[in-house]
Amino acid sequence: MKIHRLLAVPRALRLVLTAPLLLLMLLSVFPVSASAAKKIIFDTDPGTDDALALMLALNSAELDVRAITVVPGNVTADMGLENALRMVSLAKRCDIPVAAGARHPLFQKLITAEFWHGKNGLANIELPASKCKVDARFGPDLIIQLVHESPHEITLVPVGPLTNIALAVEKDPSIVPLVKEVILMGGSISGGNVNAAAEANIYNDPEAAQVVFQAGWPLTMVGLEVGDKALFTRHYLDELAKTHGPINDFISAVLKYLVDLSAQFGSPGSPMYDPSAVAVAIDPTLVKTQAMHVDVETRGEFTRGETVGNRRGYIERNVLHDDRYVIEGADKVEPNAKVCVDVDADRFLQLFVARIRGK
Ligand SMILES: [Ca+2]
């Protein structure tokens, strides 16, 4: 339609005709619209590094946090729920459902980590009482419901023990092919952080972790190989402290606590465990991955909770001949996970600081 013809039509109609054009122009200026953002469910045991991860997610336009489900781990289920509610309230995001989940791991007693996270799980920082209300649904049920409502669109980002995710899969296995992907913080293929073998999230519920790793969905394991390399040092703390705001100040205080704690153990910085999974959800190019088959050890004398990654991609085939086995070949094993084996640590930390500062 030529311009002079357009001008000839009534003003109201002109608006109707030009509105879609304006919308297109706006979309080209702001390419990450809410509808294009990656829908995630954040499963968490908050927890200091959970706080970092949650605020990174809430401050990143690439992600659309559809729900927060709470799992016991770093702190009890009740304390974790309270912490999650206070944090979404601080972020003025009462629109996001926050649901309680499991009360304890599947087959063992809970191990809480106030030693590392402070008495209240949030570096002993007292956030104001929450203005947000808990969602009445059970966390695993909420996961099931949201996955069915948005088939092939939901990315699960668990950053605690995998109890809730395992319960969801056990209750409704039909969600597995409907989940877009799972990007979890947990595991290690190079030794543990709770003992020689196991990483804390996996150690806190190995059976649940094995369910999640064997479920058959696209899964990325963001483990200690990433977090231990991405140390949040005083340099980044100084950058973060240059700006202020409720989230900025809270995260600065949490990280000051963590950096001081790390210094007591001789480390120049605090490993960025939970935020690493969120960062990978935002920008997968931050990490290098290797496809491999991962099993979770549930019985080992020294290795319960270890993520055992098959780096070579095969297992020997042993066949019984009389009183001995004979290796008759090597059978390929199918990968079930993309394991993050390296990270561009500075780019990740810069991204984190920028997002928390609201940039
Ligand atoms: Ca956590």
What would the pLDDT profile of 90-143 be if each residue is shown by its tens digit? 999 999 999 999 999 999 999 999 999 999 999 999 999 999 999 999 999 999
Q: How far is the CA of 33 from the centre of ligand 1 (A)?
A: 28
Share of the chain above pLDDT 70, in %: 90
Report how far ligand 1's centroid is from the alpha carbon of 160 (Å): 4
**Cα dihedral angle (55, 57, 58, 61), rounded to 10 degrees?**
140
44 alpha carbon – ligand 1 mean position (Å): 5
DSSP state for residue 136 in the 8-state scheme: S
157 strand-pairing partners: 42
Do residues 9 and 17 touch, judged by C-beta distance below 8 A?
yes
State in Å: Cα 158 to ligand 1 middle. 8
pTM of the full structure? 0.90
Tell me, in angstroms, the distance from the centre of ligand 1 to residue 274's CA.
6
Strands (E), the chain: 38-44, 63-70, 98-100, 154-158, 179-185, 219-222, 231-233, 269-271, 287-296, 307-310, 314-321, 324-332, 337-343
Question: Which residues make up the CATH 3.90.245.10 domain(s) of the chain?
Answer: 36-356
* Phi, psi dihedrals of residue 84, rounded to the nearest 5°: -60, -45
Q: What is the mean pLDDT of residues 193-219?
A: 98
Q: 223 alpha carbon to ligand 1 midpoint, in Å?
A: 12
Q: Return the pLDDT at 261.
A: 97
The residue length of the chain stands at: 359
Asked if 147 and 179 touch (Cβ cutoff 8 Å), the reply is yes
Q: What is the pLDDT of residue 234?
A: 98
Pick the CATH number of 36-356 from 2.20.28.10, 3.40.50.300, 3.40.1410.10, 3.90.245.10: 3.90.245.10
Class of residue 11 by CB neighbours under 10 A (exposed 0-12, middle 13-18, buried 19+): exposed
Distance 15 CA to ligand 1 centre (A): 50
- Per-residue pLDDT reduced to its tens digit, 247-284: 999 999 999 999 999 999 999 999 999 999 999 999 99
Give the ranges where 59-138 is alpha helix by DSSP (H).
77-90, 114-117
